[in-house]
C-alpha cells in the first residue's frame, strides 16, 4: 500500500534539499580560501652592522671613547696587538719587562657574549668638574653584544629586566664614612621602576631611577638627577643604552630617543 501522499511529498522535498546540497558541493571548482596576509619578515642583523652603526653623533661629544673587541686569533686581533706593541716600543719602554698587550674588553664582561663594541660620550672634558644634571644626560653610552644564539640574547635581557640587584627600586641608603675621612652622603632613590618599551622589531625594557643626596642636617648635598639603562634584543644581538646625570624624570625619554636614533642609523 503506497504511503499517504502528504508524507511522500515531504520525502520528495527532503530529497530535493539533499540533492541541492550535494550538487552545490560538487558543481564547479571550490572557491579558494582567502589568502592570508604575509607575515612581516626582516633580514637578520649581523654584529658587524650593529657595530658600524655606533657613531659619536649618538652621545655627548665633549669626550667620546670607542671600544671594539676582536675575535682572538683573527687578523684584526693580531693587527691590534702588533700596533700596541709598536706604540709601547716607540715610547721608549722601561728597564722592567712590560706585560704583553691584551685585547680590549668592552661593556659588561659577565654577560657571556662572544664579542662587543661600544661608544660612550660625556658632556664634560676629562679632568673638568662634573656637574649634574645635564639635559640629555651628563654621560651616555651604547653597547652592542653578539651572543652565542638568540636564546642567550633573550635570557640576558630578561635577566636584566628582572632587576635582581634591586637597582630600579625606591630606597634610601644611609651615609657611608670612608677610612680616609671622606664620606658619601645619605642617598634617596625615587621614581624607580622597570617597564617594557616599544622598539619595533626588538624586545626591550628600561630600568630607571632618580637620585638625590642629603647632608646630615637634611640639606641637599647635590642636585638630584636621573639615570636609566635600556636593554633590547633581536637576532642574537643585545643592545644596552645607558644614561646618567639627566634631568630628574627624563632619563627614560633620553634612553628611548637614543635607542631610536641608533636603530634608524642601523636600518639606514
Q: Grid cell 630628574 — which residue?
A: 248
Q: SS3 sequence, the chain?
A: CCCCHHHHHHHHHHHHHHHHHHHHHHCCCCCCCCCCCCCCCCCCCCHHHHHHCCCHHHCCCCEEEEEECCCCCCHHHHHHHHHHHHHHHHCCCCCCCCCCCCCCCCCCCCCCCCEEEEEEEECCCCCCCCCCCCCCCCEEEEEEEECCCHHHHHHHHHHHHHCCCCCCCCEEECCEECCCCCEECEEEEEEEEEEEEEECCEEEEEEEEEEEEECCCCCEEEEEEEEEEEEEEECCEEEEEEEEEECCCCHHHHHHHHHHHHHHHHHC
Q: What is the mean pLDDT of residues 31-52?
A: 68
Q: Which three cell numbers stand for residue 142?
A: 651604547
Q: Is the pLDDT of residue 140 over 90?
A: yes
Q: What pLDDT is recorded for position 76?
A: 84
pTM: 0.78
Chain segment 121-133, per-residue pLDDT in tens = 999 998 898 889 9
Chain segment 86-117, per-residue pLDDT in tens = 887 777 655 455 667 788 889 998 999 999 99
Chain segment 195-231, per-residue pLDDT in tens = 999 999 999 999 999 999 999 999 999 999 999 999 9
Q: What topology does CATH give the domain 47-72+101-176+184-267? A: Protein Transport Mog1p; Chain A (3.40.1000)
Amino acid at each position: 500500500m503506497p504511503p499517504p501522499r502528504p508524507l511522500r511529498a515531504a520525502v520528495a522535498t527532503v530529497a530535493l534539499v539533499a540533492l541541492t546540497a550535494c550538487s552545490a558541493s560538487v558543481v564547479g571548482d571550490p572557491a579558494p580560501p582567502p589568502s592570508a596576509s604575509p607575515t612581516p619578515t626582516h633580514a637578520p642583523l649581523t654584529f658587524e652592522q650593529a657595530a658600524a652603526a655606533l657613531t659619536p653623533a649618538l652621545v655627548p661629544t665633549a669626550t667620546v671613547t670607542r671600544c671594539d673587541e676582536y675575535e682572538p686569533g683573527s687578523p684584526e686581533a693580531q693587527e691590534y696587538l702588533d700596533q700596541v706593541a709598536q706604540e709601547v716600543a716607540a715610547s721608549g719602554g722601561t728597564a722592567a719587562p712590560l706585560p704583553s698587550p691584551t685585547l680590549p674588553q668592552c661593556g659588561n664582561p659577565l654577560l657571556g657574549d662572544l664579542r662587543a663594541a661600544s661608544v660612550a660620550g660625556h658632556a664634560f672634558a676629562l679632568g673638568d668638574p662634573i656637574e649634574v644634571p645635564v639635559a640629555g644626560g651628563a654621560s651616555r653610552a651604547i653597547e652592542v653584544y653578539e651572543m652565542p644564539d638568540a636564546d642567550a640574547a633573550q635570557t640576558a635581557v630578561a635577566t636584566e629586566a628582572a632587576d635582581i640587584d634591586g637597582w630600579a627600586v625606591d630606597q634610601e641608603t644611609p651615609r657611608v664614612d670612608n677610612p680616609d675621612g671622606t664620606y658619601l652622603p645619605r642617598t634617596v632613590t625615587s621614581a624607580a621602576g622597570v617597564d617594557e618599551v616599544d622598539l619595533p622589531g626588538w624586545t626591550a625594557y628600561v630600568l630607571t631611577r632618580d637620585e638625590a643626596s642629603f647632608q646630615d642636617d637634611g640639606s641637599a648635598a647635590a642636585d638630584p638627577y636621573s639615570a636609566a639603562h635600556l636593554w633590547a634584543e633581536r637576532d642574537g644581538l643585545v643592545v644596552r643604552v645607558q644614561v646618567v646625570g639627566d634631568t630628574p624624570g627624563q632619563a627614560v625619554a633620553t634612553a628611548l630617543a637614543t635607542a631610536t636614533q641608533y636603530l634608524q642609523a642601523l636600518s639606514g
